[in-house]
Every structure is written in structure tokens, then in C-alpha cells.
Structure 1
């Protein structure tokens, strides 16, 4: 009989530095489906200072992924004080200095490009949004041009644009400049908010309707969650992060039945701890399968997983089927 063709390489994934070995092994197991892995390795601290987390630039990981046919495009993130990143992206000289710092990172190893994941650019006050969004788009445009001159990929990670969120992002300019625009389509309900699904088909519909109107579908990567949140019911405390594996182990431990929320196609359960009620919402392969038809509707073939080592192992079969 004819050999079975490997699944198409339609998946990217982030590799968390805090569980690097397990995530790396996970990437190698599924290398046939992965076209890009983004180790979560670097952090911007100022315009001219980009530093590495523990394990950043590990040549064994880079070489192993390359040997498996997977591109390595590390992520640069930031957690700066309010307004600090805005002051970088809106100042011509600081932007130029920052691009030089980013290029030093990409030249430091045999990387295939960079993924820019900047999430605190939004300044306080409506009057500044247009200026900050424009500055960020200019930074990306200039960085992408420099990366392309080096024959490197330029990837940009953004939050979803919906009726109530994401207004700071200039999707049109970002999509024109970058090779890939990654949309973090998760945390519809997040750690410091009220309990609920991390994503839902109706939410994906709104995200992709807006995104594909501004960015070619071939450039979009839809972010998929491989994790969940464990909230205290009625509590204002930050929810606990749980991977799929942790959520499933907890569900079995407390004897909660498996069930999918009919509106969001998302697994969830409740349990008692120390006399207090808690609720867990997470994502698995079955839930993701119910979300993928929305991607097909809008012609989006590429996904990006947060994160390697978090996910339901059955998710890879689901993604192979599209």
C-alpha cells in the first residue's frame, strides 16, 4: 500500500522556557505538523535592552528543531511600566535603537526570524490610542523590512480586535508588513475576570470577520489555548492557571463528570476545596474540533498553540484533520 502522507505543516507553537525540556520533546514528537516553533525566550526592558530568560538561545533546542524541519522564530515579549513601551514606539530615535537591539537578538543564533509579542503598548486615555497604534505599526514595518533584508521572517502577535477590544492594533499595516499575524484568540474569560470559556465559536466568528477584512487569511495564525483557569466562585482572587493535563487530572480526582458547555463547546467542571466552591474552564481536542469550522469558513488554515506541553495530546489529530 502507498505510504501515508504526513499531516500538513499548518501549526505554530510557543515553547515556554519554564518547562523547556518537556516542551521541546513535545515539539519533536509533532514536528511533522509544526512549521514554526517560537521559544518564549526574550524580554524587552528598554529601547536598547533586550534580555534572555533562563535557557534562551539553547543551541541544542535550535539545532534539534532545525534538524526536524521546523523553523525557530523566538518570541520577544515585554512587561514594562504603563506608558514605557508607548514612549518607545512613538519616538523615532528610540524606535531605531530598539530595532537595532532586536536585530542583535536575531543575529545571535541561527534563528529564522523574530516574533514580536508586545501587549502593554496601549496608553491610558482615548486620545493616545491612535498615536501609539501608529507608532507600533511603524516599528513593525521598519523591523520587518530589516528582517526581510536578512532573509528572516517577521511575525507579530496581537490580541483580538472585537467590538470591545483590540482597538490599538492597526491590523492593516501590521498585516501588510509581517509574514504572519498571530491572533491570541483565548482568554475571552481570563484570570482576573469572571469565570467562563476561554474561547467560543461565536467569539471566533467576530474575531475572524474583522481580521480577514484587514489581513489576508494566508497570513493569519489563529491562537488556540491548550490550558484553562481555575476560579474561586464569588472570589476576587486571580484564577489559577492549569494546563489541560492538570485540569483533567483534577477533574478525575474530584470525581466531576466531563461535560461541554453547549454555547462555547468548552469543557468545564466545578468542585469544592476547603468548603469553598471552585470552577474550572479549559480546552481540549473535542472542544477545539467544534471551533475549527469557523476557521475553515474564513479560509484560515494556520493555527498557533499556547503552548507546547500544555495541550491535550489528541489535539494534534484534530488539527491534522483541519
Structure 2
């Protein structure tokens, strides 16, 4: 009996000692809180018009980039699917801690898209071909970029994405879908059932650019901030913020007006090319309060040039929109032709 009491006292003291000697958890630093807050933020970049070696070089510029999307898949009339998968790229991305969501495009071909989407057997075969390649190569996701779809295929496209998601999800493969910012064009905008796509896809990427549609005569920004914000507001009426990714332009346009004929044309410019023009011609950027972008213009050889500049200042405001509306992240079109300071903005985002 006396032995039992002593044993009981010993156990109580031991347990009390253990509970009081345990150190308190370390306080979370501001930086840790930032990392925790943005741990699931997607920072995606598309690759286009280059080789695997070039893509890897371009993708290595920023530690913030956590999803990469090489242009590897296209619709094909005979084979249904054209593929350019390179395992070297996948190995590099995974070793670098990045996911791979290759871009799957329709060549902007509405007839080819209708030829496949309107035929259930062809659609199913296409999805199975795609699944086999993705699974075999341990690819993490797919980014479907079908544009200029005929409005008759509006629901065919939703059905296609639904079946694609159902086929890929058992293998842990994500499905993201690109949609245009809402606009009056029945093909570029009206053919997307954004609400329907938002229900069946993992993520919807709003292409927040081509405000001017690239046509001559409509001189203006590729992507003014008010236009982008309104597009986000419209999309969030149909797609939840947790599924929404904002596409941002890593390019702009040089609007050239012939001062004799008054005719206007445009040329796409990379962000590096714009910086080179500014340095070469000694231009000063001026802030445009309407577009929330810097602006430059100059006259040369009887031609007036107008450029709305995409730079770290305008990019910072785009990222502020992502935070304001609690979006899932960003996707940049496209990686490789931007100055390094652009990526510095992401360090605080």
C-alpha cells in the first residue's frame, strides 16, 4: 500500500514536470505569415515560340514562378492530337519545384474545333489520347486554350471540359481553362459559358489583355487597369474567386499612325523591346491616369508612335487586384521577354 502511494506521487510529479518543461511554440514571423498566406498562390507562366533549352532558361528567372506551361498540344484533323512533349523539361520543372500544365490549343480554328467537339466519339478518343500522354509523363495538369470557338459549340465545349476533368482527376491531373475577358464579340467572348466551365474545371484563367483586340484604328492600351478590374468583377459573378486566375500581358503594342495618310497599324512589342526604345530614343515615360499605365510617344519618318507601357509599376497594380478580389493567382503571357525587375514585384505579392 505504501509502495503504491509513493509510485502514484512519482507519476504525478513526472507528468507535471513534462507539462511545464515543454517550450512554447515559436512566434510566427511576418515573413512566415506572408509565406503561409501565399503558400497556395499560383504564379504561372506560359512558354511559346522556343526550344526546351530556351524555355528552361526563361523559366529560371524567378523563384516565384511555380507553374509552367509549355505550348505542347494542338488539335489535329487527322490524328486529333498533335503532341510535342519533352521529358527533359518535365524533369527540370519537377526538380525545381514547379508544376507542369502544358497548353492545349485549337489553333484558333473554329471549323476544326467544331469537327471534333460536335462528335462524341472523336472527343472521347481525343481525351483518352491526352490522358495517356499526361499520365505516362507524370504531367501535373493541362491548360486548355480553345479560342475563336463557334457559338454553336458553346455547350459542346463545357461537355468536353467536364469529361476531360472526370478522366484526368482520378490520376491527380488538374484542368485549367482560358477564357477571354467578357466583350461583345460572339466568337472571342460569347462562345464561353463561363459559369458552366467554372463548375467543371479546376481553374478559369481570364486573359486580361487584348482590350483593343489588336485591330488597326482602335488605338489604346492592350490592358488598361479599369478594363481588367471590370472584367474580374464580371467573371466573379459566374466563377468563384478561389478558381479564378488573372492572365497578365508581358507584351504591349506600338501603334503607328502615318501622318500623311492617317492610316494606323500596330506591332506587338516585348517588354524588353519597349525598354530598348525608351533608352535608344531618350524618351520619358508619362503616367496615364485613365489606363493606370505609363505612356510614351514619338514621331519618326512622318510616323507617330504611341505605346502604353507594361512595366513593374503597372504590374504591381495588377497584383493588387489579385489581392483585392482574393483570386487564386496569375498567369503571364508569355515568359522570356521581360526585364528582371518585373519579377521583383512578385517577391512582395
Instruction: Give the TM-score category using the shorter length.
Output: 0.7 to 0.9
2:74 to 43, 49, 52: 43
The within-5 A match list for 1:222-233 is: 222-233=246-257
In structure 2, relative to structure 1, the CA distance for the partners of 1:48 and 1:144 (3 Å cut) is farther
Corresponding residue of 2:287: 260
1:300 to 327, 337, 349: 327
The yes-or-no answer on 1:13 pairing with 2:45 is yes
2:119 to 91, 94, 100: 91
In structure 2, relative to structure 1, the CA distance for the partners of 1:18 and 1:192 (3 Å cut) is farther
Shift of 1:184: 0.7
SS in 1 for 2:344: helix
| In 2: Cα distance, 1:109 partner to 1:81 partner | 28
Instruction: Decide whether the 8 Å contact of 1:17 with 1:41 is kept in 2.
Output: no
In structure 2, relative to structure 1, the CA distance for the partners of 1:35 and 1:146 (3 Å cut) is same
TM-score by length of 1: 0.87
2:307 to 261, 265, 280: 280
1:27 to 59, 67, 75: 59
What is the number of residues matched between the two proteins?
309
Instruction: Decide whether the 8 Å contact of 1:37 with 1:72 is kept in 2.
Output: yes
The within-5 A match list for 1:106-255 is: 106-121=134-149, 123=150, 129=151, 131-162=152-183, 166-193=189-216, 194-233=218-257, 234-237=262-265, 239-255=266-282
Shift of 1:37: 0.6
Instruction: Decide whether the 8 Å contact of 2:69 with 2:143 is kept in 1.
Output: yes
2:89 to 36, 61, 69: 61
Instruction: Decide whether the 8 Å contact of 1:201 with 1:264 is kept in 2.
Output: yes
Instruction: Decide whether the 8 Å contact of 2:135 with 2:171 is kept in 1.
Output: no
- Bigger radius of gyration among the two: 2
After superposition, what is the alpha-carbon deviation per residue over 1:179-226, rounded to whole angstroms, capped at 9, x for unaligned?
A: 111111011124324221111222122211121121111111100111
Corresponding residue of 1:126: none
Q: Which runs of 5+ in 1 are unaligned?
A: 124-128
SS in 2 for 1:214: coil
| In 1: Cα distance, 2:236 partner to 2:190 partner | 16
After superposition, what is the alpha-carbon deviation per residue over 1:96-154, rounded to whole angstroms, capped at 9, x for unaligned?
A: 22222322432452211211101021x2xxxxx2x411110100010111010222111
Shift of 1:254: 1.8
Instruction: Decide whether the 8 Å contact of 1:89 with 1:132 is kept in 2.
Output: yes
Q: Which runs of 5+ in 2 are unaligned?
A: 1-28
Shift of 1:230: 1.4
TM-score by length of 2: 0.81
| In 2: Cα distance, 1:264 partner to 1:217 partner | 24
* Greater CA drift, 100-109 or 37-46: 100-109
| In 1: Cα distance, 2:148 partner to 2:173 partner | 25
| In 2: Cα distance, 1:92 partner to 1:35 partner | 35
Instruction: Decide whether the 8 Å contact of 1:208 with 1:295 is kept in 2.
Output: no
Report the RMSD for the aligned CA atoms in angstroms: 2.4
